[in-house]
Amino acid sequence: MIENRLIIIDTTLRDGEQSAGVAFSHKEKMTIAKKLDGLGVDMIEAGIPVMGKSEQKVIYEMLSANLRADILTWNRMCIKDIEATRVTGATHAHISVPVSDIQIRHKLRTTRTELITAYKKVLDFARSHELEVSIGAEDASRADEVFLAHIYTIAISYGVKRIRYADTLSVLDPFSAYERIQQLTKRLAQHFNITPSVLSQTLGIDFHGHNDFGLGTANALGAFKAGARIISCSVNGLGERAGNTPLEEIVVALSHMERSVTSIDMKKMMEVSKLVELYSGRTLQVSKPIVGDMVFSHEAGIHVDGLIKDRRNYTYLDPAILGREHQMIMGKHFGKYKRIN
């Protein structure tokens, strides 16, 4: 793996569709999947097969569409979920495991010991059917860190090569996200008696963040700096409650701030953003970073004058990389009008 390679798992069609009031039709899901593939995402988290035949049918159609991106299904820690994934023909299955004591006791109404027993049975079943499994630790940021590492080491012992750290309730800040991923990597490397750098060559760490405090992008950036080279995100940040890490924000931020290498075609971001905005019915603010209609618009005379003299005066993020351009708005603060050539 290239050291600074950023791998994108897009969850617009799974966590994004879980947004209250959002439901994509079969045709819309297929259109979005093809646009995501054209955008260059590495993997599309396509949906939850156990929801029923209509969900299974659209995932099957995605798998039959010869997309470049891998198609991933999302599953609870249940054998019937894995059976539903097998119906679609998918070979990549993500299994979500609640790991905080709050969720173990009050959601699953079980114990850590019983959870591990059930967890191993599901892993056995999935691996026996030759599925490429990834394990996601739900509510990882509120879990006991020793128990969390144990959940991951079990997965790795079953041949799992990608693990997800889910900040399900947006508990972290960018500094704690960095520390948690760094410490997790050290703990896993120590368990297997290897160095963290060797571990990173064989194990992909996926960070799945939420945006309840407006830190979805910042937390993903912190996790990436600590070694989580896989970021689970969604177009426009669509997702539960305040949403997920926005794909467009984390890709552009990491490209500029960390010089990450990605397969994403940034000039296609606006097209995909507008499509998801239309299909989801979630209208974006005009100042939404990266894809907002007016984020490259200027009215203040000081800024306009500076841009006329040398665009570098007020340009760090160049709109051209997104296929966009600066716009001058006549208004109260504009001052004397001059055209920018």
For 101-145, write each residue's pLDDT tens digit.
999 999 999 999 999 999 999 999 999 999 999 999 999 999 999
Q: How far apart are the first and last CA of the chain?
A: 43
pLDDT for 331? 61
Q: Which two tokens stand for residue 110?
A: 């079980």
Mean pLDDT, the chain, as a whole number?
Answer: 94
Residue range 208-236: mean pLDDT, rounded: 98
Q: CA torsion angle for 271, 275, 281, 285 (degrees, to 10)?
A: -10
pLDDT for 184? 98
pLDDT for 115? 98
Question: Does position 305 have pLDDT exceeding 80, yes or no?
Answer: no
Residue range 227-237: mean pLDDT, rounded: 98
pLDDT for 341? 46
Residue range 247-259: mean pLDDT, rounded: 97
Query: What count of other Cβ atoms lies within 10 Å of the Cβ of residue 171?
Result: 20
CB-CB contact of 137 with 152 (8 Å) = yes
304 pLDDT tier (thresholds 50, 70, 90): confident
pTM of the model: 0.94
Residue range 51-77: mean pLDDT, rounded: 98
Geometric angle at alpha carbon 219, from 217 and 220, rounded to 5°: 65
306 pLDDT tier (thresholds 50, 70, 90): confident
